[in-house]
Amino acid sequence: MNQGKRPVPDLGIPQNTIEILNKYKFVFQKKFGQNFLIDPHVLDKIIKAADISEEDFVLEIGPGIGTMTQYLAASARQVAAIEIDHALIPILQDTLKEYGNVKIIQGDVLKTDLRQIACDMNGGEPVKVVANLPYYITTPILMGIFESHVPVKSITVMVQKEVADRMQAGPGTKDYGALSLAVQYYAKPYVAANVPPNCFMPRPQVESSVVNLSVYKEPPVQVKDERLLFAVIRASFNQRRKTLQNGLNHAPGLGISKELTVGILEDMGLLASVRGEALTLSQFAELSNRLSDALA
Ligand code: SAM
């Protein structure tokens, strides 16, 4: 930011948030995962982790009453903030009225064409995504951004701590799974801070973490068929206690026999009894490339 320079009034201060909530008689909607940040130090940490400068175009998902939006607007060139809750729009128009570089968009992020926004508002150049995410749709939001190839430089998000742990887990650990591999295919994850429930209003029942995902220009592994790679990954983790050959064999629509998988695993120097959780991303890439050749 304008590091250290705080917005006035700073909605990160609980009294100011309470004042706005009372002024508009705002009723929290649990179904929208509404937990508003009320800690300026955490807000500073998010801005720092996102490394926002005056050149950046920031896409914020779920601005709430505009707390983080104020911090982003003070640091970035332009901010577009997408909020689903109609009741929050007049509040945002009030709390953000001093900022000429914020566009508020009412809508469901899962139904919004983010590529189009990046195209229209940032000339198709990579944007930075920053959000205190609604936890009920963390994975669909992130996978939607990755899979629809929105031009993105980095994604800095508050997520459930458990989800952050899964994002950065490696093979052989209990947290390693389809989410770890999907995230690590597209980006390099880094946990910038752990955040306790008392930094939010109302308090969530879970611990949270700020994760920075630095998005790769090119994936770290070469894959012939991305859809097959992710289908293979999902099938391998569907039933964790199953061997990889069984998981793939039982995956509907894939049509992969046990013999084919075992033959490929042998060629790769892996045991027929190996489980999905033992394979690295590059081993999954090799497996899916070999399957792609065999199924062609
Ligand atoms: N950014 C604010 C903050 O940090 O105080 C609010 C964060 S709150 C955890 C999540 C926000 O996302 C809420 O404002 C909620 O209404 C909004 N939201 C929930 N589902 C959404 C969706 N599908 N599309 C856009 N916004 C959504």
pLDDT one-digit tens code per residue, 122-136: 999 999 999 999 999
Model pLDDT, residue 186: 97
Cβ of 33 below 6 Å from ligand 1: yes
**Same domain assignment for residues 40 and 160:** yes
> In which region does residue 232 sit, left (phi positive, over 0), alpha (psi from -120 to 50) or beta (all else)?
alpha
**Omega into 197 within 30° of 0, i.e. cis?**
no
Please say whether the beta carbons of 235 and 252 come within 8 A.
no
Segment 287-295 shows an average pLDDT of 96
Model pLDDT, residue 8: 82
Q: Ligand 1 pocket test: which of 11, 36, 43, 72 has the largest number of ligand atoms within 8 Å of its C-beta? A: 36
Q: Ligand 1 pocket test: which of 42, 84, 111 has the largest number of ligand atoms within 8 Å of its C-beta? A: 84
Flag the least confident range among 145-149, 221-225, 262-266: 145-149
pLDDT of residue 2 exceeding 70, the answer is no
Cβ of 64 below 6 Å from ligand 1: yes
Expressed in angstroms and rounded, the spacing between residue 187 Cα and the centre of ligand 1 is: 23
Cβ of 34 below 6 Å from ligand 1: yes
Measured distance CA(39)–CA(162) in Å, rounded: 21
Measured distance CA(201)–CA(179) in Å, rounded: 28
Confidence band of 1 (pLDDT split at 50, 70, 90): very low
Q: Which atom of ligand 1 is nearest to the CA of 134?
A: 10
Measured distance CA(278)–CA(48) in Å, rounded: 35
Cβ of 17 below 6 Å from ligand 1: no
Per-residue model confidence as pLDDT tens digits over 193-215: 999 999 999 999 999 999 999 99
**Same domain assignment for residues 18 and 155:** yes
Expressed in angstroms and rounded, the spacing between residue 94 Cα and the centre of ligand 1 is: 17
Pairing verdict, β 200-201 and 187-195: unpaired
Q: Which atom of ligand 1 is nearest to the CA of 36?
A: 5
Tell the residue nearest (CA) to atom 17 of ligand 1: 62
Tell the residue nearest (CA) to atom 20 of ligand 1: 32
**Same domain assignment for residues 249 and 167:** no
Model pLDDT, residue 241: 80
Segment 219-226 shows an average pLDDT of 97
Confidence band of 44 (pLDDT split at 50, 70, 90): very high
Q: Which atom of ligand 1 is nearest to the CA of 35?
A: 9
Q: Look at residues 260, 268, 267 and name the one whose alpha carbon lies nearest to residue 292.
A: 260
**Same domain assignment for residues 51 and 168:** yes
Confidence band of 239 (pLDDT split at 50, 70, 90): confident
Specify if 3 maps to a domain: no
What does the mean pLDDT of the chain come to?
Answer: 95
> Which tokens belong to 198?
């008392």
pLDDT of residue 3 exceeding 70, the answer is no
The percentage of the chain sitting over the pLDDT mark of 90, rounded to a whole number, equals: 93
Pairing verdict, β 127-132 and 57-61: parallel
74 vs 6, higher pLDDT: 74
Per-residue model confidence as pLDDT tens digits over 153-188: 999 999 999 999 999 999 999 999 999 999 999 999
Model pLDDT, residue 240: 74
Measured distance CA(162)–CA(206) in Å, rounded: 9
**Same domain assignment for residues 207 and 242:** no
- Give the CA distances from residue 155 to residues 24, 143, 219, in Å, rounded to whole numbers and listed in that order: 31, 12, 16
Q: Say which CATH number the domain at 262 has.
A: 1.10.8.100
Q: Of 156, 180, 215, which marks where a domain is finished?
A: 215
**Omega into 219 within 30° of 0, i.e. cis?**
no
Per-residue model confidence as pLDDT tens digits over 106-123: 999 999 999 999 999 999
Residue in the structure block whose two tokens are 């577009």: 80
Specify if 221 maps to a domain: no
Expressed in angstroms and rounded, the spacing between residue 166 Cα and the centre of ligand 1 is: 22
Model pLDDT, residue 167: 98
Specify if 260 maps to a domain: yes
Model pLDDT, residue 4: 54
Specify if 61 maps to a domain: yes
**Same domain assignment for residues 142 and 46:** yes
Question: In terms of residues, how long is the chain?
Answer: 296
Cβ of 72 below 6 Å from ligand 1: no
What is the total count of domains within the chain?
2
**Same domain assignment for residues 98 and 176:** yes
pLDDT of residue 226 exceeding 60, the answer is yes
Cβ of 42 below 6 Å from ligand 1: no
**Same domain assignment for residues 200 and 66:** yes
Confidence band of 260 (pLDDT split at 50, 70, 90): very high
DSSP 187-251: EEEEEEEEE-GGGEESPPSS-EEEEEEEE-SS-SS--S-HHHHHHHHHHHHHSTTS-HHHHHHHS
State the DSSP H helix or E strand holding residue 108, giving kind and residue range, or none if neither. Answer: none
Specify if 173 maps to a domain: yes
**Same domain assignment for residues 195 and 246:** no
**Same domain assignment for residues 28 and 173:** yes
Please say whether the beta carbons of 7 and 74 come within 8 A.
yes
Model pLDDT, residue 125: 96
Specify if 2 maps to a domain: no
Enter the pTM of the model.
0.95
- Among 5-19, 179-193, 232-246, name the most confident range: 179-193
**Residue 197 belongs to what domain range?**
14-215
